[in-house]
Chain A
């Protein structure tokens, strides 16, 4: 299996621009997570999906952030408009159906820089 795939790996954009991050989870996994990692705040959960349905979006910082999962093999995280404080590494992770051992498998991340 190819693991969790994210694109792009690096994104540099100007303040005010729209940014779209993409994720392909591991085939057969029922859960998909979006995290943001910064030096100051560590790894923060933004939102997670179960069977393509958003379950908990309480970590989404504000209305500028939105996430979708139109099917089991694809999800997007969109920031519009972007701001310099959004600069971070964004990780997508997926997890199989909970059988008491809910390990999350992380993608390589997207390093976002907003200037």
Chain B
């Protein structure tokens, strides 16, 4: 089975940097996703890591360490519109397209 842990809530200030951590335990690993979900809306794709290291995409970056079962999402120059839930999701090697989602981290950006 799989176990994915993320902090439940975080608060950060507009313009600042925030790091959202995700740890996972899985019997077989084949990639890790980050999705963003605004309240009342559907999740939307942010990033995908399958190899160790940092993937940068504009203000958002995602890091993966497979040996540690650890990932983080880094959001820079925070904006009010970044207030949302951030879902970590793991794809295991035996499940084709099957992905298991964490319960998400609700980020509140304050002025």
Question: How near does chain B come to A45, taking the closest CB pair, in angstroms?
Answer: 7
Evaluate contact between B87 and A43: CB separation under 8 angstroms. Answer: yes
21 intermolecular pairs with C-beta atoms under 8 Å apart: A31-B97, A35-B101, A42-B101, A42-B103, A43-B87, A43-B101, A43-B104, A44-B101, A45-B98, A48-B97, A56-B95, A56-B98, A98-B96, A98-B97, A101-B48, A102-B31, A103-B45, A104-B45, A104-B99, A106-B44, A108-B42
CB neighbours (8 Å) of A95 from chain B are: 97
Interface size of B as a range? 20 to 34
A-B pair count, CB < 8 Å, reads 52
- Asked if A109 is at the interface of the complex by the 8 Å CB criterion, the answer is yes
What is the minimal beta-carbon distance from A76 to any residue of chain B, in angstroms?
19
Q: A101 vs B32: C-alpha distance in the bound complex, in angstroms?
A: 11
| Interface residues, chain B, with chain A CB atoms under 8 Å away | 31, 33, 41-45, 48, 50, 87, 91, 95-104
Contact indicator A108/B97 (Cβ below 8 Å): no
Residues of A within 8 A of B (CB): 31, 33, 35, 41-45, 48, 50, 55-56, 91, 95, 98, 100-109
From A31, A50, A104, name the one whose CB has the most chain B CB atoms within 10 angstroms.
A104
Min CB gap A100→B, angstroms = 8
* Shortest Cβ distance from A43 into B: residue: B101
Contact between A106 and B43, CB atoms less than 8 A apart: yes
B100 surroundings in chain A (CB, below 8 A): 45
